[in-house]
Structure 1
Amino acid sequence: MFNHFNGAQGNVKNDVLSGITVALALVPEAVAFAFVAGVEPMVGLYAAFMMGLITSAIGGRPGMISGATGAMAVVMVALVMNHGVQYLFAAVVLAGIIQILFGVFRLGKFIRLVPYPVMLGFVNGLAIVIFLAQLGQFEVLNAQGEWEWMTGSTLYMMLGLIALTMAIIYILPKITTAIPASLVAIVAVTLLVTFMDLDARTVIDYVRDMLPADQRESASLAGELPSFSIPMVPFSLETLYIVLPTAIILSLVGLIESLLTLTLIDEMTDTRGRGNKECVGQGVANTVNGFFGGMGGCAMIGQSMININSGGRGRLSGITAAMVLLAFILFAAPLIEMIPLAALVGVMFVVVIATFEWASFRIIRGVNKEDAFVLFLVTGITVIADLAVAVVVGVIVSALVFAWKHATHTMAKTHTDDDGWKVYELEGPLFFGSVTHFKDIFDVQNDPQDVVIDFNESRIWDSSGIDALDNLADKYQSVGKTLHIRHISPECRVLLKKAGRYVEINVNEDPRYKVASDTLG
């Protein structure tokens, strides 16, 4: 899985060149997501710069690119529409603080609970989302100011330049890997369009189309350094009530997407990122965004794939991307404004092809139907609704499937020993999902006077299992029979109440494992 790219460590040259490539690809994404959130384009560009710089410098995953993202932009729309951009900045600050607390309390480790089918669904879903996002570049404004699909020569020019971009990206690495193929493709297509004066839509054309009619003539991506400013909102409980729900959702969506992207890059590069450190990095970056006029963001899987594909492995790649983006904004806006959209779309199409786990179609034939269902479910929800919702639903469904399958694995072999005692040799886990089946195993009324329950091949997983054993002991006691419990851990003995007196201790043979419980905390 995820073996599309070479996992070798990068170097300064690769990181710098890769960073330049990523900076070019960040521009239209940042502008597009700013419009989605209902804020000015510069707010999105500032977010891409600050998120990329800070997370690359102090985050837990070298080589991962962060910036303004669609997953977070859609959450911001209602707050901006109802209360204005200053409340958004306050929400981003609060979201950042929440993310920092996630890292401080080491909660990033829980990303390991995401099952393999959910991860596959996440990757495939995001690949589809990235592809669908590029289709918007095929729309243009007509004379009536309405959006319509490209037709005729405009469409053919777009498709031809996209094909040329993709061809360069695929062919150039077979000739040389000294320069990232994506960077060469963007520069080559831009020069071709410029010197041949081809009628191709550029980045500035896209920005103009997104703006109101009275602002299109003055549209520009030139800007100044972001400046510090405390969000201009009343410091009151009412303000907290307004921004807190959005802040919580932003923090969770940002962390889920970032940590899953981190896991994906770990797999691709055969390295190990630090989830808790990334939580802190994302939190600091979002907090700074709120104070410096950015819309915040999280890890960007598309740009991260471009970076890895172009040879970027170290922190310098992300830092370079951020600094080059800032340099464009401050000094060279006309250069990025003239880049054909087709070149950037072509790069993203290559990312889609490389990101989608095509082996899923073969894997589905070999896995059980439950895993296949989870894979399709997560992919579908990622496309239709939201990444965070998709992952949470996938984890819950996977957990329920796991519990259901293991609920039927608890069984017992029975025999009568030399003393006439009936011995139940349990097999399988005893937890909330299997307690009903566990109770049906025993024949309290017809069992002999002495009954042995042997946990040598079984294990109690949770408090439901403890409670089930206590209740069983109570039943045997009510009919005057003696219960003997063997091979149970010391931790379980502490938690047992009614059944505790029946436990036979064997120091050499009794297992030792921990049971998560406040009683033992």
Structure 2
Amino acid sequence: MRADGRLIAFTPKLLTVLHEGYSVDRLRRDSIAGLTVAIVALPLAMALAIASGASPDKGLVTAVIAGFLISALGGSRVQVGGPTGAFVVVIFSVIAQHGYDGLLLATLMAGVMLIIAGYAGLGSLVRFIPQPVVTGFTAGIAVIIASSQVKDFLGLSMESVPADFLPKWGAYFAARDSLQVLTVTMGAASLALIIALRKWTPRLPGFLIAVILAAAAVALLHLPVETIGSRFPDLPAGLPAPGLPDFSLAKVQAVMPSAFTIAFLAGIEALLSAVVADGMIGSRHRPNQELVGQGMANIASALFGGLPATGAIARTATNIKAGAITPVSGMMHALFLLLFILFASDLMAYVPLAALAAILFMVAWGMSEHHRFIQLLRMPNGDRALLLLTFGLTVLVDLTVAIGVGVTLASLLFMMRMSQAVEIANDSSEMAAPSEDGEDIHQRDALPAGVEVFRIDGPLFFGVANELLDTLRRVGPPPKIIILRMRRVPLLDASGVATIEDIVRRAASAGTQIIVSGIQAQPLAMLERISLGRAGQHILFSDDFSDALRVATVIATAPSAAAERLN
């Protein structure tokens, strides 16, 4: 049974769909959806590639190769993959530091990492990334993407654009006198058209329409604006031959942090997109196989000279709304893009860069999740600080630092809140709430002389371990017996075990007997690791508080004889 379950968990959804039976009607619906998504993905793939510091054909190659494999090998029914805005910052930085070959190596390494993560069962870990961190770095990436397009949107004359946020805007300000009115008009008109189409006719492919009209205006009116053809005059047609990137041990070590960042972003965005898709179609994706599929796709993209890829939420949603029902739709989207590369790549030369900048402004606005950002600003101080810190570090420092610091602080914040939720008490007035497990809450009623009782509610981990010791110290002179009620302790970590061990040692030196009642399986297993379990001689165990109270009464009234009988 377990082996069968693991086999299913690592079976691509495409095989499941084909096993169910694939009809001509399904092929028709998936083909229509694939064509619709290809129309949306065509200008987006080029725009994202240019924003990343690569040529537009790299984005199309990525959408074809990785897009096909993400659908064919992934764990979601309707996931559509390709280059996304989340990678723009990382790609630009890697190319600037290590060249394009360094990016290919980092992408290949990230693919291997994703495969390992998938087979290690890490696909479910995405739910442990807190929302303030996700929203913070997503909004930060949106700001960086929008900032990177200012030069092309305004037509500024600049030899180079700094990579860092503040120097970038300083350079823009210094070059403000080179602003080209015609380029600004072209970009503003494209942006206005996209916004208008999205508002009044959302079913139409606004990105593609804006690009086609802008390119037609440039070609027919011979407008003197910068285009894809003027910036990239030697674009290849068709797909490149596959090949391994140049690598050495030193280069592997140099791009390793970037590879981890790419793998992390690819995994997070793909799994979030798959969750969104599940909610839209009422299905359930296979998270670990999704990571494996993403890994295979990124390796293949690197071999063909493409960019990092992941599941794209916007394209996946478009796919679903267009009627997709199986992974074949994502594969068809890649095939339609391939046809464009083979037979219409010359038309790309007329596309003005200002129009692509307008598209990326809209992408950045969608990524910003401004509504959720504003909602999180209304949350408690800890969540608000986490959001703003992650956002600020993403924009001003580095995406990798932002993610690391954000997740670390989120974990510390969670542990602090958990420690505040754990209750350690020995006064019946503190136990006034009804017991959910039927255990008597009036724990101090009719206690024999020399017996103290403490009830612990919540996990006993390092965040609250010292509190338990402090509570025990406040009881005054050591009692004859201490009853620890642990029925409501679901988890005991190493620090909690060390605390219990310290309590037992102090109790032994003071002549106090420890009785634990109602302990659950995990805490008991942890105590048994250090010989404090049922087979040991230092703690007495009772199934419930009533039995613990009976044992305590026997020991309190006849300590020596009772201890010998019970041990």
- Trace 1:286-301 onto structure 2 (pairs within 5 A): 286-292=298-304, 294-299=305-310, 301=312
Question: Deviation at 1:90?
Answer: 4.7
Match of 1:204 in 2: 229
Match of 1:186 in 2: 211
Question: Deviation at 1:75?
Answer: 5.2
Match of 1:130 in 2: 145
* Distance verdict in 2 for CA 1:269–1:156, change over 3 Å: farther
Match of 2:36 in 1: 17
* Distance verdict in 2 for CA 1:434–1:102, change over 3 Å: same
* Distance verdict in 2 for CA 1:343–1:258, change over 3 Å: farther
Following the alignment from structure 1 to structure 2, what is the Cα–Cα distance between the partners of residues 433 and 12?
Answer: 55
Q: Deviations over 1:400-459 (max 9, x none)?
A: 011122323332133363322211122333101111111100036513212211123344
- Trace 1:72-87 onto structure 2 (pairs within 5 A): 72-74=90-92, 76-77=94-95, 80-81=98-99, 85=101
Match of 2:386 in 1: 374
- Trace 1:77-476 onto structure 2 (pairs within 5 A): 77=95, 80-81=98-99, 85=101, 89-138=104-153, 140=155, 142=157, 148-149=175-176, 150-173=179-202, 177=203, 179-205=204-230, 207-208=231-232, 219-231=233-245, 239-247=248-256, 249-264=258-273, 266-267=275-276, 270-271=279-280, 272-292=284-304, 294-299=305-310, 301=312, 304=315, 307=318, 311=322, 315-360=327-372, 362-364=374-376, 366-408=378-420, 409-414=422-427, 415=444, 417-420=446-449, 421-443=451-473, 446-476=477-507
- Checking the alignment, whether the CA contact within 8 Å between 1:182 and 1:310 is kept in structure 2 is no
The one-letter code of the counterpart of 1:410 is E
* Distance verdict in 2 for CA 1:302–1:152, change over 3 Å: farther
* Distance verdict in 2 for CA 1:366–1:143, change over 3 Å: closer
Following the alignment from structure 1 to structure 2, what is the Cα–Cα distance between the partners of residues 144 and 100?
Answer: 40
SS at match of 1:484: strand
Moved more, 109-118 or 348-357: 348-357
Question: Deviation at 1:335?
Answer: 1.5
Question: Deviation at 1:488?
Answer: 1.0
- Checking the alignment, whether the CA contact within 8 Å between 2:277 and 2:317 is kept in structure 1 is no
SS at match of 1:287: helix
Q: Deviations over 1:180-230 (max 9, x none)?
A: 34333433444455445555443323x24xxxxxxxxxx132324321334
The one-letter code of the counterpart of 1:461 is L
Following the alignment from structure 2 to structure 1, what is the Cα–Cα distance between the partners of residues 51 and 503?
Answer: 62
Following the alignment from structure 1 to structure 2, what is the Cα–Cα distance between the partners of residues 319 and 350?
Answer: 26
Following the alignment from structure 1 to structure 2, what is the Cα–Cα distance between the partners of residues 308 and 380?
Answer: 33
Moved more, 68-77 or 394-403: 68-77
Following the alignment from structure 1 to structure 2, what is the Cα–Cα distance between the partners of residues 482 and 137?
Answer: 77
- Checking the alignment, whether the CA contact within 8 Å between 2:111 and 2:296 is kept in structure 1 is yes
- Checking the alignment, whether the CA contact within 8 Å between 2:394 and 2:401 is kept in structure 1 is yes
Higher helix share: 2
* Distance verdict in 2 for CA 1:268–1:161, change over 3 Å: same
Which structure has the greater CA radius of gyration? 2
Q: Deviations over 1:295-337 (max 9, x none)?
A: 4402275864784697485545543443344333332222122
User: Paired residue for 2:45, among 26, 37, 43?
Assistant: 26
- Checking the alignment, whether the CA contact within 8 Å between 1:181 and 1:310 is kept in structure 2 is no
* Distance verdict in 2 for CA 1:246–1:21, change over 3 Å: same
* Distance verdict in 2 for CA 1:488–1:325, change over 3 Å: same
- Checking the alignment, whether the CA contact within 8 Å between 2:33 and 2:323 is kept in structure 1 is yes
Match of 1:64 in 2: 80
Q: CA RMSD in A?
A: 3.5
SS at match of 2:41: helix
Q: Deviations over 1:152-191 (max 9, x none)?
A: 3332333223212321232213xxx3x4343334334444
* Distance verdict in 2 for CA 1:426–1:370, change over 3 Å: same
- Checking the alignment, whether the CA contact within 8 Å between 1:204 and 1:337 is kept in structure 2 is yes
Question: Deviation at 1:499?
Answer: 4.4
Following the alignment from structure 2 to structure 1, what is the Cα–Cα distance between the partners of residues 98 and 457?
Answer: 57
Question: Deviation at 1:264?
Answer: 4.5
- Checking the alignment, whether the CA contact within 8 Å between 2:30 and 2:329 is kept in structure 1 is no
- In structure 2, stretches of 5+ residues that fail to align are 1-25, 162-171, 428-443, 548-567
- Checking the alignment, whether the CA contact within 8 Å between 2:386 and 2:409 is kept in structure 1 is yes
The one-letter code of the counterpart of 1:21 is V
- Checking the alignment, whether the CA contact within 8 Å between 2:517 and 2:545 is kept in structure 1 is no
* Distance verdict in 2 for CA 1:142–1:67, change over 3 Å: closer
Following the alignment from structure 1 to structure 2, what is the Cα–Cα distance between the partners of residues 477 and 334?
Answer: 85
Question: Deviation at 1:119?
Answer: 2.5
Where relative contact order (Cα < 8 A, 6+ residues apart) is larger, the structure is: 1
SS at match of 2:448: coil
Following the alignment from structure 1 to structure 2, what is the Cα–Cα distance between the partners of residues 90 and 268?
Answer: 31
Following the alignment from structure 1 to structure 2, what is the Cα–Cα distance between the partners of residues 96 and 361?
Answer: 31
The one-letter code of the counterpart of 1:278 is E
Moved more, 430-439 or 492-501: 492-501
Matched residues, number: 474
* Distance verdict in 2 for CA 1:92–1:118, change over 3 Å: closer
Match of 1:211 in 2: none
- Checking the alignment, whether the CA contact within 8 Å between 2:63 and 2:81 is kept in structure 1 is no
Question: Deviation at 1:247?
Answer: 4.2
Following the alignment from structure 1 to structure 2, what is the Cα–Cα distance between the partners of residues 133 and 242?
Answer: 27
* Distance verdict in 2 for CA 1:246–1:28, change over 3 Å: same
